[in-house]
Structure formats: C-alpha cells, structure tokens
Structure 1
C-alpha cells in the first residue's frame, strides 16, 4: 500500500472519529411533563368561548397594523384553536403574567397544496405584553424545534438564536400533531419536543412574562394549550 494512501486513510479515520466525538449526543427520551403529572394544570382555552375570552390579540411588530377581522377561531366543541393564516402577522397572549411555569401546546399545520411552503409560526413564553421582548419556540414542517427571540443580554435587547444548539429538532411534517413544552424556572428555559428535551438555555434575563401563540400567514391548529405554574 503506497505511503501517501495510508496517510490519507489514517487522516480520514481520525477525522471521522473526531466528528463522532464532537457530535452532540441525542437527547434522552422522556415523557411530557403533562403525562408525568397531570395534576395542577390550567387549561388556557377552557371557558374562552368563540370570542377567545382571557386572550388579547396584538400586532407583530408592536407598532404594526392589526387587521380588523381576526384570523383566530376557537371551537369549544373540539377544543381546537385555529389560526386561518388569512391575515397579517399577529399573536394572541394569555392575559396573566407569569414567572416560573411549564407551557404545554400541541399544534399542527394544514398542508399547503400549492404556493410557498415555509410553514411559519411559533409558541411564545415570557414575552412582554407588547412583544418588544419575546422568546419563541419555532414551529415548522419537520424542522424548527428551537428557541430564538429578542431579549435582554447583559441588560441590552439583542437577538438570540439557539437553532445551532438543538440536538435533535424532532418536529414532525405538516399535517401531523406535534407537542411542545416550554419550561421556565429562574434563568433556565428549556424546550421539550415530541418525546425529549431538545434545548436548554440557562441565561434568560427576563424573570416574568406572558405566554402566547403566533400567526404568520399559515393555517395552524392548536389544542391542549395548558400551563402549570411552578
């Protein structure tokens, strides 16, 4: 075997070994917090009715224009909150400011049969009331499953994006139900996606805020929107 060929093979094996060693380990499978302990949860859509009582709709960005007709529809019979995706960019927030909690949301996109298929929406936690400060768990079509936002970093508002830190997005394709759980406790914020924690963030400088759901021009359904104060 030629010397240069042996050298190339050695370098290849070493490189492959280093790549495997540096790769982030797959997250350990776990049950959702709701499944582990179903006691003490608040159903945020219980009693909301078709008028979505207890929730406030606001534009994104905060100085944007809010469409007169809401694209949010809640059906008390099925317990499903639907964003038709026919309006502009807005969000609905639950009208109670919180500190430490677990926020459980199940969601699915309606598959797009033609046109743009970016499937954009998100689940909010510890937002300011006007959403100038926000933290979003990104949804998508078999992608997403990370947290990003605009939040104080050393006291100054900055963009944070943890998409590169996600060990496994675990998000299912459009048309299938997904489950997200965002846990906020002190400075820690974690995201659980379809059976495992995919992201831990330990430096959230926002101690309290609002939870909510985002509308961004795609039809998406939400169910079992629940919260457990910690």
Structure 2
C-alpha cells in the first residue's frame, strides 16, 4: 500500500513538471520530484492482519494453549515456547507439548511449520500435531498424531498402545509435496466423526478410519528439535 502511494505521488509530480515545461523532465528535475514525494506513516499490523484467515476459522496464538513439560536431565535455561510476530518458536527441549484450552471434535486444523536451517544437523528433525488428547497429560498422552517428523510428514498414527488405528498412506505423494528443511510446510487435517485426513502443501497424504477417540484437545509437540509454527487456525465443523 505504501509503495503504491509513493508511485502515484511521484507520477503526479512528474506529470506536473511535464505539463509546465511542455517537454520531458531532465534527470535533475526527476531527482527533485522524487524528493518532493511526501512521507507517510502506516499503522503496525496486528496479529490478526499478518495472515489471511479464512471465513469460519479462528487464528490461535500462544495464549490459546497450555504447556505440558516433561522432565529434563539438565536444567532448562530458556523457555521452551516463545512467540514473536505471529510465529511460535519451540526449542525442542525438554520434550512436551502445548495443548489447546478447548476440546475439539469435528474440525479442520490448518497451520504452517518449519525446521530452521540449523536443524539440518539432524537429517530427520521431529515434531507432531496431536488430536483428541484424552486423559492425563504425560509423555505421550492418549491421542492420535499427525506426524511432523521430516521423513514422515503428514502420516497419521495412534500415539497410544490403547488405540489401534487403520491408516492409508501415500509415501510417493509425501516425497513430491514435502518442502526441504528451512522452508515452510502447510498442513491441513480434517477430523470427522473420529476419522482423520491429512493434506500436505495441498496434496492429500493419509487418512485413518474412526477409532474410539472422537474428541479431545489439540496439541503441538516439542520433541528434541527446534521448530517454528505460524498461522495456526481452527474451524469447528457441524455434525
């Protein structure tokens, strides 16, 4: 918006110069005209305006989650989770997760995440997206998981021995759709009556048949590697 305003202002000044002189402006006149373009101040973007949020979706930030943290063998100096300019950053230590304040049933969750380029020291960095978290918080809770791990991105699995899950998965589609470490990957998960489907960067990857879990809290994992999340949004679906 600002650049468009500057261009229009410059064009107006140039047209004025041409109209007054009857000929094309000199280089000196162009420089003087550029200096006459007024400066404008634009308000800072709010968090809500950083991303385009689709109708019916709610954008989530760090304040919309609670943290569960596992035990660490060494003292943790820095906070595991922080947020800046709409990006939630996770150090990966200690292992644990953020879980939503509200339980979800039928819903669509969309988000973007990436492993920073520094994560290349690990060829298969890890995180995950937890659905239908039920019961006590622990490492790991009773729930379903859509994998964030680089080599298994968007795979669906049970995260508990108590739950058996029937899953269809397309490895070739994953390898074609997946973007490299350091770049943002977009994940969409649709939860319908206990069945999950996952989409990676617009490409369908996996689906699961319904299990006994049909509602619960949504979570994002800290699992040993630095990772960043942004544009986390949720749409509740009607039955």
Do Structure 1 and Structure 2 share a fold, with TM-score over 0.5? Answer: yes
Structure 2 residue aligned with 1:198 = 205
Per the alignment, in what secondary structure is the counterpart of residue 112 of structure 1?
helix
Q: Who is 1:57 aligned against? A: 67
Question: Which protein has the larger Cα radius of gyration, Structure 1 or Structure 2?
Answer: 2
Could you tell me which runs of 5 or more consecutive residues in structure 1 were left unpaired when the two chains were aligned.
Answer: 1-34, 46-51
Structure having the higher strand fraction is: 1
Task: State yes or no: 1:72 paired with 2:81.
Answer: yes
Out of 146, 155, 176, the position equivalent to 1:137 is 146
Could you tell me the TM-score, scaled by structure 2's length? 0.66
For residues 104 and 120 of structure 2, the distance between their equivalents in structure 1, rounded to whole angstroms, comes to 40
**Residue 122 of structure 1 is aligned with which of 125, 128, 151?**
128
Q: Which runs of 5+ in 2 are unaligned?
A: 1-51
The 5-angstrom pairing of residues 26-175 of structure 1 reads: 38-45=54-61, 52-59=62-69, 64-65=70-71, 70-75=79-84, 78-85=85-92, 87-112=93-118, 115-128=121-134, 130=137, 132-141=141-150, 143-151=152-160, 157-158=162-163, 160=165, 162=167, 166=171, 168-169=173-174, 170-175=177-182
**How far has the Cα of 1:164 moved from its partner?**
5.1
SS at match of 1:157: coil
Number of aligned pairs? 179
Secondary structure of 1:192 counterpart: strand
Structure with a larger share of its residues in helix: 2
Question: How far apart in 1 are the matches of 2:142 and 2:228?
Answer: 25
CA RMSD of superposed structures (Å): 2.7
- 2:214 aligns to what? 207
